[in-house]
Amino acid sequence: MPGKISSRMWSQPSENSLSALKHGMAFADGIEFDIRIDADGELVIFHDEFLPGSGSIKPRCIENIYTDELRKRGVLTFTEMIKDQEFLELWRSGSKTIDIEIKMPHPVVGKEDDSHLVSILESIGHMTDDLDLPSRSTIVSSFSPKISSVSKSIGFEISVTQLVPRIRPWGRYWRIKRAFAMPQFVMTSVPHIARKFRSEGMDSIGMALEYLKGWERYSRLGPSVGLKGKGLQRLHNSLRGMGVFVWPGPLELEDSLIGAGVSIVSDHMNPDVVSKPDGSFRWPRPASQPLDDEWMERLSSSALGERTDLIKEAGDNLPSWSELSSKRKSEIISEQGRRMLWEGSEESWNRDHENGIPWGSPRIIGHRGAGKTHGW
């Protein structure tokens, strides 16, 4: 069963706070959050390069501020997060997925990329070693193109992936960062990215939605992929069972993305929203608490006025992924693998149920826990 979910009249908690992370873990298939390392060498959960304020950026950079001061400013530490037993129980369950995004420091901090990645990866490894986490419960991502090589150099055992296109850790405004990412976006195709990442031993890809949807995907070199028709077939032929996580995840595209085998890093974590823009019901846990045929039919035929209560009832009664029988897990995985052209055999797909949900299975995970509350 999922954890406790807030009910009606939901008030969104601040991004990357413990309340936000716990909400996302209970409400969705898992969460994404941002990790930095402070002046004490402590892992802290914070998105931006520096704290808000005026004057010089350098003294406000997270990497230059000590833990006590950051705590006073409401910044959560990784240690505080893993000490929360309710949160940890969900992480250990094998039903939920956590995407830990390593944030690179602003250039004024003066940290070299490789050493920064080593410090954070070693800290993550050390702090999770004794947590008894299923191997497919966690992925570590970064915009740094060195994430794969550095993780291999230190024997890091958690799955990693690079986010594309690369967003550099500087520039006050999102439009500036986006502009500098455009050349990579234009010059790379999803088939090329999948081949490259697979050759480097990565299980998944983190990418902008524009690679899959919108006019922008036609502006790139190489074959385009999409969410239907030949574009979808090219996507599945490229991935062959690799996971793909996209952001943003508009509500109106959820069904198309999930149906295509694409995981969504979503800002839509409001439990009061039980319908999508087209009027169909919304189920936020397709991987960690999959609907069976009976509940799919009940929710599909439900009237809007009864939908909130029905979705709560489904959440209270349906088994989580870890509670499903081995037979039911195999049915779900085999159907996805055949439809999405996964590499290997049904036997290989179903070999390690206890290690969590396959990376190629689509998930909805909460962006910064319960959705972003500021910035981009």
- Top pLDDT among 136 and 171 is at 136
Residue at 345 is within a domain: no
Residue at 329 is within a domain: yes
Q: What are the pLDDT digits (tens) for 14-28?
A: 999 999 999 999 999
Question: What is the model's pLDDT at position 328?
Answer: 97
Considering its fold, how many domains does the chain have in total? 1
> Tokens for 265?
């890093």
Residue at 374 is within a domain: no
Q: What does the angle CA 298 – CA 304 – CA 307 come to, to the nearest 5 degrees?
A: 50
**Residue bearing tokens 């706070």:** 17
Please provide the average confidence, as pLDDT, over all residues in the chain. 91
Q: What does the angle CA 265 – CA 101 – CA 16 come to, to the nearest 5 degrees?
A: 75
Q: What are the pLDDT digits (tens) for 122-145?
A: 999 999 999 999 999 999 999 999
Residue at 295 is within a domain: yes
Taking residues 354-368, what's their average pLDDT?
A: 96
Residue at 12 is within a domain: no
DSSP three-state, residue 292: coil
What pLDDT band is residue 215 in, cutting at 50, 70 and 90? low
Q: Looking at the chain, how many residues does it have?
A: 376
Cβ atoms < 10 Å from Cβ of 371: 20
- CATH number of the domain residue 313 falls in: 3.20.20.190
Residue 102 has pLDDT above 90, yes or no: yes
Question: What is the model's pLDDT at position 187?
Answer: 62
Question: What is the model's pLDDT at position 169?
Answer: 56
Residue at 347 is within a domain: no
Residue at 320 is within a domain: yes
- Top pLDDT among 67 and 181 is at 67
Taking residues 231-242, what's their average pLDDT?
A: 96
Could you give the percent of the chain with pLDDT greater than 90?
82
Residue at 352 is within a domain: no
End-to-end Cα spacing for the chain = 32
Residue 176: give the domain boundaries: 18-340+357-367
